[in-house]
Amino acid sequence: MRLTTEHVFDLFGQIEFYESLWDGVSCYEDYHWTKETVTRLKPFVDSIDKDWTLAHIDAVPDNFLFCPMQDDAEAVEEIRLIDWEYAGMQDPHIDIAMFAVYALYDKEQVDQLIDCYFQSERCSEITRLKIYAYIAACGLLWSNWCEYKRQFNVEFGEYALRQYCFAKKYSDIVLQTLNRSQRHALSRD
């Protein structure tokens, strides 16, 4: 719909924001390494052309409502998206990443989601890699949110760990792919 708003959702800024709210000690021994790895993705993400539109950001499956409707004497189902608390201007592909991390998808399911979203136009490899980078950053964002909540004795258990694992796994996938591409480009020169 190409909707716009004044508010921008700064993914990497939000990672920093949630980190600033907790007591400075992560429950993950390798947190600083993981954060540094995810942060290395920012120049790649920033270098790619993007659509800039209103994105939901909180594309958890529970926020999609399937509502029965009557349309010209035919029963149809309308999908409504609720809970726009985090919404802001952003690349709409971030919502694919958010849906994947909230659903705790494995890589095969992530790729199926991406393929389903793009259907006939086929997702380019660079766009897929950008979505993987978003998955890494989103995982770290929500892991940091869970760390913040932990200060108040609110534990998210496996969910928190899985978010952190998204940050580690997908940052590695992106960086390894980019390194292979650079080596390949150098070998052609």
**Pairing between β-strand 64-71 and β-strand 88-90 as defined by DSSP bridges:** unpaired
Give 93-122 pLDDT, tens digit per residue: 999 999 999 999 999 999 999 999 998 788
Determine contact, residues 88/3, Cβ cutoff 8 Å.
Answer: no
pLDDT band at 79 (very low <50, low <70, confident <90, very high): confident
Supply φ then ψ for residue 31, to 5 degrees: -55, -50
The rounded distance, in Å, linking the Cα atoms of 117 and 111 is 10
DSSP assignment of 32-92: HHHHHHHHTTHHHHHHS----EEE-S---GGGEEEEEEEETTEEEEEEEE---TT-EEE-T
Of the listed ranges 13-22, 65-74, 93-102, 138-147, the least confidently predicted one is 65-74
Q: How far apart are CA 161 and CA 143, in angstroms?
A: 7
Q: 11-181 — its CATH code? A: 3.90.1200.10
Residue 101: predicted pLDDT: 97
Task: Give yes or no for residue 184 having a pLDDT over 70.
Answer: no
User: So what's the pLDDT on residue 188?
Assistant: 57
What pLDDT does residue 186 have? 52
Whole-number pLDDT of residue 47: 96
Torsion sign, CA atoms 179, 180, 185, 186: positive
% of the chain at pLDDT higher than 70: 95
Amino acid 1: pLDDT = 76
CA distance 165 to 91: 23
Mean pLDDT of the chain: 92
Contact 123, 115 (CB under 8 A): yes
| 24-47 confidence digits (pLDDT tens) | 789 999 999 999 999 999 999 999
